[in-house]
A and B are shown apart, each in its own frame.
Chain A
Amino acid sequence: MTTITGNTMGHTPAVAAKPDNYLTHGKTIGSWLFTLDHKRIGIMYLITALLAFFIGGMLAEVIRTQLLVPQGLIFHGTGSVASSYAAYRYYNQVFTLHGIIMVFLVLIPIIPGALGNFAMPLMLGAKDVAFPKLNLISYYLYLVGAILAIVSTVLGAVDTGWTFYTPFSIQTESYVVVMVLGIFLVGFSSIFTGINFMVTIHKLRPPGMSWFRMPLFLWAIYSTSLIQVAATPVVGITFVLLMMERVMGIGIFNPALGGNPVLFQEFFWFYSHPAVYIMILPAMGIVSEIIPTFSRKHIFGYEFIALSSLAIALIGFLVWGHHIFVNGQSAELDAVFSFLTFIVAVPSAIKVWNWLATMYKGAIVLKTPMLYVLSFIVLFTIGGLTGVVLGALSEDVVLHDTYFVVGHFHYVMMGGTLIGFIAGMHYWWPKMFGRMYNERIAQWTCVVLFIGINLTFFPQLVVGAEGMPRRYASYLPVYQPYMIASTIGAYIQLVAFLSMAGYLMHSLFYGKKAPMNPWGGGSLEWETASPPPHDNFETTPSVGDPYDYSDLVFDPAVNGYVHIEKPVESLAPVTATH
């Protein structure tokens, strides 16, 4: 179905009457840098995280190019073993930086920071988050952390891998302290954001919006915040200890000083496994918003989706040990972690079935956000199922630290979190900037990206199972065909992302004006102008069922959806005035 064909400009009367919006509310640079407006902070997160994603993505292309040939295409020795090792150090720095940037600067903050900040108060019908100043502080902590990460790279880079395993990270001659300090700050940014969002959802819900009438994205954000608040302090203290190791030689993790290097792994994964859910839960929340909107049908199994988010958040705290099955912890402990790992797989499955049931008998509009969501379901299914085999103890012994693991988590992180983010960005783009992007190019880009991701990561699953370990700068020649396929996939992804950057930039300046409600969403953010005014709502919107689409019809005159008068028994009163 093609809808954006009308030649009317998408001015709703509200926008026409009051052209001032949050983007034009203040025009000085200071009005951006010191803004307390959650929408502007969201946009600043978006820009910063996308810049970080660009850097991390280019590093990924370097990695893939290096692995085109077994001895390394970019970094390789001049004949002697020692010279190879010296060259491989650069490769190690590249994959370390790729991992750190992608995990700490992109995947963790991008959805809560950019989309959560922008959309959450709007979905609540609130004027702002609970603590606007804290929100700005969070952003600057994130920015300073990101800058420190870049600074450490300029100074001499880090070659520890993003996991910073001791004692290697204590011994290596690289700028671990600066990098870790940066991540520590980003961690505090994450904690403050989590506190802010939880308090906002607790205290700023409008009258009539009970917990079980919240949009599911808010449930996801709430669960995410819970993890951020409860897990991040532990990694904070872990990184403090690591800095102390390097600066003072405190000796907690250093076996040479009587410390225990495995303790670091326990601490690290106590955070970093829940962090995986910090990344994926909000993406699932976005999917739960987009699927009903584009199926024009009420979400199926609301309570199950909402509570499964919470279940994932809570059980997710008890499974960290599955990252370290082969490090010598007791077999009984391994068994407990393995058991809980399988338990936590179930809520994710519940979500997938409920999404499919929502599509059943809907009226599915295959616009760009929906296409990305469908890619999400497919890619996340592959990512999730490959995770199941890694949770099985005896299989993990064979697959641990191989490219199978690399393929698995890229399916989940890239195919899940990032695709979920891209879906959300396309979903809220008209609301953010008041412009529509080129739908046709966007759809093709989605298809190309889907192909690219599969071509990149599926061969990695196979080559890992066949025996290629991860973090290898060079490899046995027998794996080369898979590596070449994977690299071609990475180049295809690059093409897709360049295209995306192109049409999104184009839309900012030349895109059609966006209507108030281009997709027919039922939650409150669609009840205000695109882009919203500084105070979010002209009049406080009234709360209804966010997944009731029965009174929304497409109006070609405004090129978007508008409310129609509904029968008296309707739950959702008509609020927008047209």
Chain B
Amino acid sequence: MSEAIAINPTEEQVARDHLAHHFDTPQQQFDAGTLGMWMFLATEMLLFSGLFCAYAEFRATHPDVFRYAGQYLDPVSGLINALILLTSGLTMALAVRFAQTGKRFALSLCLALTMLGGVGFLAIHAKEYFDNGQAKLLWGTHYAPSVGPNGKPVAPVTGLTALVARPKPAASPGWQSLKSLGKAGFVVSHSAIMPASVGPSGVAASQKPAAAENPFQPANVQVFFGIYFLMTGLHSLHVIIGIIVIGWLLIRSLRGEFGPGYNAPVVYVGMYWGVVDMVWMFLFPLLYLIH
């Protein structure tokens, strides 16, 4: 993408300064770095692919769980996050371009905007996580949401929608709805989770029935949330790493280190950020749009 840009003699000297002893030309060094980066990103995709396989396996064997649990997630938050990441992907691409053309102020600005996008993404995600934690929509034995008398979740959505259109505080908090369930003749002691003895060591003593279950809820909903937190957690970790690395680029860019002669780090990080964006474009429909 950068071949067309003319390099003046000073920039050529800059390029030579950054040439490691075992490469012959800056171009060879840059190509090697690009190839290495592509391979690294391929391994990143493979890292996620394990989770995608787990997702596929459980969605195939527990379709009802995914349909049921899907209603807890807020597609609006997911969509806004997708848009944020798309925008930050654009600013990152611009940053790469400005680095190659030597527009230092524009480069710094774009890097800052990209960072801002990443932070915004994380903030919205954190809100979702927080709501999940409040509603006990968690994994394994921690899954214990309250349910309304109709068997529907008390807090049906999390994230931004919950912020804007918060459902009325449940008239009957958890235990009361259970009581009404009991009155209706439902078994309320039924737990989705098997008894203690086969669980992980150390948690056996505390492993009481995690949630009073209602007959409309499929068993093993906790598996969905396990997968949800793993996938989004791993992705968020990548976003955090991306923000840190872009911050490091921003500092170097403010020092004026990048220009037409030397911009490889910006290019490589740009590739990384593109992959991080792309992963979310897969995660969003898979997790938030189950219907």
Residues of A within 8 A of B (CB): 126-132, 134, 167, 170-173, 191, 194-196, 198-200, 202-204, 229-230, 232-234, 236-238, 240-241, 244-246, 248-252, 254-260, 263, 266-267, 535
Contacts and interface: CB of A to CB of B under 8 A. Distances in A.
Contacts of A245: 200
B22 A132 contact: yes
B140 A236 contact: no
A196 B36 contact: yes
Interface centre among A170, A230, A241, A252 (most CB of B within 10 A): A252
A171 B207 CA distance: 14
Nearest to A271: B50
Give 5 closest A-B pairs by Cβ, nearest first: A258-B220, A237-B50, A233-B46, A127-B22, A249-B140
Contacts of A267: 50, 53
A238 B47 CA distance: 9
B11 interface: no
Interface magnitude class on chain B: 35 or more
A356 B191 CA distance: 66
Interface in B35-52: 35-36, 39-40, 42-44, 46-51
Contacts of B58: 252, 260
Contact of B28 (A173, A203, A234): A203
B222 A258 contact: yes
B57 A249 contact: no
A443 B53 CA distance: 50
A191 B42 CA distance: 11
Interface centre among B44, B54, B141 (most CB of A within 10 A): B54
Contacts of B234: 237, 240
Contacts of B46: 230, 233-234
A147 B48 CA distance: 27
Interface of B: 20-23, 28, 31-33, 35-36, 39-40, 42-44, 46-51, 53-54, 57-58, 61-62, 139-142, 192-194, 198-201, 203, 219-220, 222-223, 226-227, 229-230, 234
A204 B22 contact: yes
Contacts of B35: 198-199, 202-203
B36 A195 contact: yes
Contacts of A195: 36, 39-40, 43
A257 B32 contact: no
Given A132-B22, A195-B39, A233 B200 contact: no
Nearest to A167: B198
A514 to B, nearest CB: 25
Contacts of B32: 130-131, 199-200, 202-204
B57 A256 contact: no
A250 B199 CA distance: 11
B193 A257 contact: yes
A250 B50 contact: no
10 contacts: A132-B20, A171-B200, A196-B36, A204-B22, A229-B39, A251-B140, A257-B141, A257-B223, A266-B53, A267-B50
Nearest to A540: B24
A172 B201 contact: yes
B140 A257 contact: yes
Contacts of A127: 21-22
Nearest to A256: B198
A234 B198 CA distance: 27
Nearest to B233: A244
Given A241-B230, A249-B203, A254-B200, 9 more contacts: A128-B22, A132-B20, A199-B39, A232-B43, A252-B223, A255-B194, A257-B222, A258-B192, A267-B50
A173 to B, nearest CB: 5
Contacts of B54: 241, 252, 263
A255 B57 contact: no
B223 A251 contact: yes
Contacts of B48: 237
Contacts of B44: 233
Contacts of A252: 54, 58, 223, 226-227, 230
A137 B50 CA distance: 25
A259 B192 CA distance: 12
A206 to B, nearest CB: 10
A257 B191 CA distance: 11
Contact of B36 (A199, A232, A240): A199
A254 B33 CA distance: 41
Nearest to A170: B200
A229 B230 contact: no
Given A202-B35, A233-B44, A260-B58, A250 B230 contact: yes
Nearest to B53: A267
Nearest to A172: B201
B39 to A, nearest CB: 5
Contacts of B42: 229-230
A230 B44 CA distance: 10
Contacts of B53: 266-267
A37 B62 CA distance: 53
A191 to B, nearest CB: 5
Contacts of A249: 139-142, 199-200, 203
Contacts of A134: 36
Nearest to A203: B32
Interface centre among B220, B226, B227 (most CB of A within 10 A): B226
Given A171-B201, A199-B32, A251-B226, A234 B193 contact: no
